[in-house]
Amino acid sequence: MIESIFSIEISKALEISTRQYLVGNLARPQELKHIPDADVEIGISRYESASAESPHYHDEATEFQYMISGWTRYKDLGTGQEFDFTAGDFYVIKPHTHYVQKSKQGTEILFIKVPSINDKRLLEVTPQIKSWMAEKLKTVRNDYFEDPDAPAANSIKPAAAVAVCDNDRLLMVQRADSGKWTLPGGTLDFGESLPHCAIREVQEETGLQVEITDVLGTYTNPEVKIEYSDGEVRQEFTVVFLGKTDSTEVNIDHESVNYAWLSLSNEMSIDMADSQRRRIADLLHYLSSGEKRIS
Protein backbone atom coordinates (compact mmCIF):
# COMPACT_ATOMS: atom_id res chain seq x y z
CA MET A 1 0.00 0.00 0.00
CA ILE A 2 1.25 3.48 -0.89
CA GLU A 3 -0.17 6.62 0.71
CA SER A 4 0.71 10.11 -0.43
CA ILE A 5 0.36 13.80 0.32
CA PHE A 6 1.17 15.96 -2.67
CA SER A 7 3.11 19.22 -2.68
CA ILE A 8 0.14 21.37 -3.71
CA GLU A 9 -1.79 20.16 -0.63
CA ILE A 10 1.18 20.84 1.65
CA SER A 11 1.78 24.31 0.23
CA LYS A 12 -1.87 25.34 0.57
CA ALA A 13 -1.99 24.13 4.17
CA LEU A 14 1.20 26.00 5.08
CA GLU A 15 -0.33 29.21 3.73
CA ILE A 16 -2.85 28.96 6.58
CA SER A 17 -0.64 27.60 9.36
CA THR A 18 3.11 27.80 10.01
CA ARG A 19 3.28 24.11 10.98
CA GLN A 20 1.61 21.06 9.44
CA TYR A 21 2.10 17.41 10.30
CA LEU A 22 2.52 14.80 7.57
CA VAL A 23 2.66 11.81 9.92
CA GLY A 24 1.76 11.38 13.57
CA ASN A 25 -0.71 10.64 16.33
CA LEU A 26 -2.49 14.01 16.31
CA ALA A 27 -4.87 15.01 19.09
CA ARG A 28 -6.25 18.04 17.22
CA PRO A 29 -7.40 18.45 13.61
CA GLN A 30 -5.30 20.42 11.13
CA GLU A 31 -5.72 21.80 7.63
CA LEU A 32 -3.63 19.08 5.97
CA LYS A 33 -4.62 15.42 5.88
CA HIS A 34 -1.97 13.30 7.59
CA ILE A 35 -0.90 9.68 7.85
CA PRO A 36 -1.69 8.34 11.36
CA ASP A 37 1.22 6.79 13.23
CA ALA A 38 1.68 6.25 16.95
CA ASP A 39 5.46 5.96 16.81
CA VAL A 40 6.69 8.98 14.87
CA GLU A 41 5.73 12.55 13.97
CA ILE A 42 6.90 14.13 10.70
CA GLY A 43 5.99 17.62 9.63
CA ILE A 44 7.08 20.93 8.16
CA SER A 45 7.45 24.32 9.79
CA ARG A 46 7.42 27.34 7.47
CA TYR A 47 8.04 30.90 8.66
CA GLU A 48 6.69 33.46 6.19
CA SER A 49 7.87 36.19 8.57
CA ALA A 50 10.63 36.32 11.18
CA SER A 51 9.49 34.24 14.12
CA ALA A 52 10.55 32.91 17.54
CA GLU A 53 9.48 29.75 19.37
CA SER A 54 8.83 29.98 23.12
CA PRO A 55 11.43 28.26 25.33
CA HIS A 56 10.60 24.63 26.04
CA TYR A 57 11.88 21.07 26.26
CA HIS A 58 10.58 17.52 25.71
CA ASP A 59 10.46 14.83 28.40
CA GLU A 60 10.87 11.81 26.10
CA ALA A 61 10.86 12.79 22.46
CA THR A 62 13.98 13.21 20.34
CA GLU A 63 13.71 15.80 17.57
CA PHE A 64 15.44 15.33 14.21
CA GLN A 65 15.40 18.39 11.97
CA TYR A 66 16.48 19.14 8.40
CA MET A 67 16.78 22.69 7.08
CA ILE A 68 14.97 22.97 3.75
CA SER A 69 15.63 26.69 3.41
CA GLY A 70 16.44 29.82 5.37
CA TRP A 71 18.25 30.30 8.65
CA THR A 72 17.40 29.38 12.23
CA ARG A 73 19.22 29.91 15.53
CA TYR A 74 18.89 27.90 18.73
CA LYS A 75 20.07 28.76 22.22
CA ASP A 76 20.73 25.94 24.66
CA LEU A 77 19.44 27.45 27.91
CA GLY A 78 21.45 24.98 29.96
CA THR A 79 24.85 25.85 28.50
CA GLY A 80 24.15 29.24 26.92
CA GLN A 81 25.61 27.99 23.63
CA GLU A 82 24.05 29.18 20.36
CA PHE A 83 23.73 27.15 17.17
CA ASP A 84 23.05 28.47 13.66
CA PHE A 85 21.61 26.21 10.95
CA THR A 86 21.02 27.03 7.28
CA ALA A 87 19.70 25.23 4.19
CA GLY A 88 20.99 21.66 3.96
CA ASP A 89 21.93 21.29 7.65
CA PHE A 90 20.67 18.40 9.79
CA TYR A 91 20.61 18.35 13.60
CA VAL A 92 19.20 16.46 16.56
CA ILE A 93 17.72 17.80 19.81
CA LYS A 94 17.83 15.28 22.63
CA PRO A 95 15.17 14.94 25.38
CA HIS A 96 15.46 17.32 28.36
CA THR A 97 17.34 19.93 26.30
CA HIS A 98 16.01 23.33 27.38
CA TYR A 99 16.12 25.64 24.38
CA VAL A 100 14.69 28.65 22.60
CA GLN A 101 14.63 29.17 18.81
CA LYS A 102 14.20 31.99 16.31
CA SER A 103 14.08 31.89 12.52
CA LYS A 104 14.56 34.25 9.62
CA GLN A 105 11.72 35.04 7.27
CA GLY A 106 11.42 32.35 4.59
CA THR A 107 12.80 29.53 6.74
CA GLU A 108 11.37 26.04 6.18
CA ILE A 109 12.24 23.03 8.35
CA LEU A 110 11.37 19.35 8.03
CA PHE A 111 11.07 17.82 11.51
CA ILE A 112 10.80 14.27 12.81
CA LYS A 113 9.86 13.58 16.43
CA VAL A 114 10.15 10.18 18.07
CA PRO A 115 7.92 9.01 19.72
CA SER A 116 4.70 10.71 18.61
CA ILE A 117 3.60 12.06 21.98
CA ASN A 118 2.64 15.44 23.36
CA ASP A 119 5.45 15.89 25.90
CA LYS A 120 6.32 19.55 25.24
CA ARG A 121 7.00 21.50 28.44
CA LEU A 122 7.03 25.28 28.31
CA LEU A 123 9.65 27.22 30.25
CA GLU A 124 9.55 30.64 31.86
CA VAL A 125 10.14 33.53 29.47
CA THR A 126 12.60 35.63 31.45
CA PRO A 127 13.40 39.22 30.41
CA GLN A 128 16.72 37.98 28.99
CA ILE A 129 15.02 35.29 26.90
CA LYS A 130 12.34 37.74 25.77
CA SER A 131 15.03 40.15 24.59
CA TRP A 132 16.86 37.35 22.74
CA MET A 133 13.66 36.28 21.01
CA ALA A 134 12.81 39.84 19.97
CA GLU A 135 16.17 40.50 18.32
CA LYS A 136 15.75 39.38 14.71
CA LEU A 137 18.45 37.53 12.82
CA LYS A 138 20.39 40.04 10.75
CA THR A 139 21.67 38.93 7.39
CA VAL A 140 25.22 39.95 6.52
CA ARG A 141 26.12 40.25 2.83
CA ASN A 142 29.52 39.92 1.16
CA ASP A 143 30.06 40.79 -2.51
CA TYR A 144 32.65 39.03 -4.70
CA PHE A 145 33.75 40.36 -8.08
CA GLU A 146 35.82 37.93 -10.14
CA ASP A 147 37.50 36.73 -6.95
CA PRO A 148 39.13 33.26 -7.22
CA ASP A 149 38.60 32.77 -3.48
CA ALA A 150 34.84 33.36 -3.68
CA PRO A 151 32.62 30.50 -2.48
CA ALA A 152 30.78 28.40 -5.04
CA ALA A 153 27.34 29.67 -6.01
CA ASN A 154 24.37 27.63 -4.82
CA SER A 155 21.50 29.80 -6.10
CA ILE A 156 20.55 32.08 -8.94
CA LYS A 157 17.61 34.49 -8.83
CA PRO A 158 16.49 36.91 -11.55
CA ALA A 159 16.65 40.49 -10.25
CA ALA A 160 16.03 44.03 -11.44
CA ALA A 161 17.64 47.33 -10.45
CA VAL A 162 16.89 50.87 -11.53
CA ALA A 163 19.14 53.84 -12.19
CA VAL A 164 16.71 56.59 -11.17
CA CYS A 165 18.05 59.87 -12.53
CA ASP A 166 17.01 63.42 -11.69
CA ASN A 167 18.85 65.74 -14.09
CA ASP A 168 22.53 65.09 -13.27
CA ARG A 169 21.78 63.25 -10.01
CA LEU A 170 21.39 59.54 -9.33
CA LEU A 171 19.45 57.91 -6.50
CA MET A 172 21.51 55.51 -4.36
CA VAL A 173 20.57 53.62 -1.19
CA GLN A 174 22.90 52.29 1.50
CA ARG A 175 22.24 48.63 2.26
CA ALA A 176 21.59 47.55 5.84
CA ASP A 177 23.19 44.12 5.33
CA SER A 178 26.54 45.28 3.95
CA GLY A 179 26.72 49.03 4.51
CA LYS A 180 27.53 49.55 0.83
CA TRP A 181 25.74 51.88 -1.58
CA THR A 182 23.69 50.45 -4.43
CA LEU A 183 21.01 51.15 -6.99
CA PRO A 184 17.56 50.26 -5.62
CA GLY A 185 16.24 46.90 -6.79
CA GLY A 186 15.52 43.32 -5.82
CA THR A 187 14.54 39.82 -6.89
CA LEU A 188 11.69 38.75 -9.15
CA ASP A 189 8.48 37.40 -7.61
CA PHE A 190 6.24 34.78 -9.21
CA GLY A 191 3.63 36.31 -11.46
CA GLU A 192 5.52 39.47 -12.43
CA SER A 193 7.78 40.66 -15.22
CA LEU A 194 11.22 42.17 -14.65
CA PRO A 195 9.99 45.72 -15.43
CA HIS A 196 7.17 45.29 -12.91
CA CYS A 197 9.69 43.89 -10.43
CA ALA A 198 11.88 46.97 -10.93
CA ILE A 199 8.97 49.36 -10.35
CA ARG A 200 7.78 47.44 -7.28
CA GLU A 201 11.21 47.20 -5.69
CA VAL A 202 11.90 50.93 -6.09
CA GLN A 203 8.50 51.73 -4.58
CA GLU A 204 9.08 49.38 -1.63
CA GLU A 205 12.64 50.54 -0.96
CA THR A 206 12.22 54.29 -1.53
CA GLY A 207 8.51 55.11 -1.71
CA LEU A 208 8.97 56.52 -5.23
CA GLN A 209 6.81 55.77 -8.23
CA VAL A 210 9.11 55.40 -11.22
CA GLU A 211 8.62 55.08 -14.95
CA ILE A 212 10.96 52.74 -16.80
CA THR A 213 12.45 54.54 -19.80
CA ASP A 214 15.13 52.15 -21.10
CA VAL A 215 17.40 49.21 -20.35
CA LEU A 216 20.94 50.05 -19.26
CA GLY A 217 22.23 46.49 -19.53
CA THR A 218 22.19 42.88 -18.43
CA TYR A 219 24.56 41.58 -15.76
CA THR A 220 24.95 37.80 -15.60
CA ASN A 221 28.67 37.30 -14.99
CA PRO A 222 28.97 33.93 -13.18
CA GLU A 223 32.09 35.23 -11.41
CA VAL A 224 30.07 37.92 -9.63
CA LYS A 225 28.64 36.38 -6.46
CA ILE A 226 26.78 37.50 -3.35
CA GLU A 227 27.31 35.55 -0.13
CA TYR A 228 24.70 35.82 2.64
CA SER A 229 25.14 34.74 6.25
CA ASP A 230 22.19 32.34 5.92
CA GLY A 231 24.31 30.13 3.64
CA GLU A 232 23.09 31.35 0.25
CA VAL A 233 25.72 32.21 -2.36
CA ARG A 234 23.94 33.84 -5.28
CA GLN A 235 25.27 34.12 -8.82
CA GLU A 236 24.65 37.50 -10.46
CA PHE A 237 21.56 37.73 -12.66
CA THR A 238 20.34 41.33 -12.90
CA VAL A 239 18.79 43.55 -15.54
CA VAL A 240 19.42 47.23 -14.84
CA PHE A 241 16.81 49.67 -16.11
CA LEU A 242 16.78 53.42 -16.46
CA GLY A 243 13.96 55.22 -14.70
CA LYS A 244 12.53 58.63 -13.99
CA THR A 245 10.25 59.97 -11.27
CA ASP A 246 8.23 63.12 -10.64
CA SER A 247 9.22 63.21 -6.96
CA THR A 248 12.52 63.23 -5.08
CA GLU A 249 11.08 62.73 -1.59
CA VAL A 250 12.41 59.35 -0.47
CA ASN A 251 11.20 57.11 2.37
CA ILE A 252 13.53 54.13 2.78
CA ASP A 253 12.43 50.78 4.17
CA HIS A 254 14.19 48.38 6.58
CA GLU A 255 16.54 47.07 3.87
CA SER A 256 18.42 50.38 3.77
CA VAL A 257 19.94 52.70 6.36
CA ASN A 258 20.37 55.79 4.21
CA TYR A 259 19.78 57.27 0.79
CA ALA A 260 21.23 60.09 -1.30
CA TRP A 261 20.74 61.90 -4.56
CA LEU A 262 24.35 62.02 -5.68
CA SER A 263 25.99 63.94 -8.48
CA LEU A 264 26.98 61.60 -11.29
CA SER A 265 30.41 63.23 -11.34
CA ASN A 266 31.05 62.10 -7.75
CA GLU A 267 29.38 58.67 -7.85
CA MET A 268 32.55 56.60 -8.02
CA SER A 269 33.91 57.96 -4.74
CA ILE A 270 31.32 56.33 -2.48
CA ASP A 271 31.67 52.88 -0.88
CA MET A 272 30.08 50.31 -3.19
CA ALA A 273 30.70 46.78 -4.41
CA ASP A 274 32.77 46.44 -7.59
CA SER A 275 29.72 45.05 -9.39
CA GLN A 276 27.85 48.27 -8.60
CA ARG A 277 30.84 50.35 -9.62
CA ARG A 278 30.72 48.69 -13.05
CA ARG A 279 27.02 49.54 -13.39
CA ILE A 280 27.64 53.21 -12.57
CA ALA A 281 30.49 53.34 -15.10
CA ASP A 282 28.15 51.78 -17.68
CA LEU A 283 25.52 54.41 -16.86
CA LEU A 284 27.98 57.22 -17.48
CA HIS A 285 29.04 55.58 -20.74
CA TYR A 286 25.40 55.15 -21.80
CA LEU A 287 24.58 58.81 -21.09
CA SER A 288 27.46 59.93 -23.28
CA SER A 289 27.21 57.37 -26.10
CA GLY A 290 23.87 55.55 -25.87
CA GLU A 291 25.66 52.18 -25.73
CA LYS A 292 24.42 49.43 -23.43
CA ARG A 293 26.15 46.54 -21.71
CA ILE A 294 25.11 42.98 -22.48
CA SER A 295 27.08 40.62 -20.30
Handedness of CA 102, 106, 112, 117 (dihedral sign): positive
Q: What kind and span of H or E run contains 277?
A: helix 274-289
The pLDDT value given to residue 168: 86
Average pLDDT of the segment spanning 2-13: 95
Question: How would you classify the pairing of strands 238-244 and 256-263?
Answer: unpaired
pLDDT in tens, 190-204: 999 999 999 999 999
User: Structure pTM?
Assistant: 0.81
DSSP type of residue 121: E
In order of their start, the domains of the chain are 7-134 (2.60.120.10), 141-294 (3.90.79.10)
Residue 35's contacts (CB-CB under 8 Å, 6 or more residues apart) are 3, 5, 22, 23
Q: How many CB atoms lie within 10 A of CB 28?
A: 6
CA 285-287-291 angle, to 5 degrees, is: 55
The pLDDT value given to residue 267: 64
The pLDDT value given to residue 27: 87
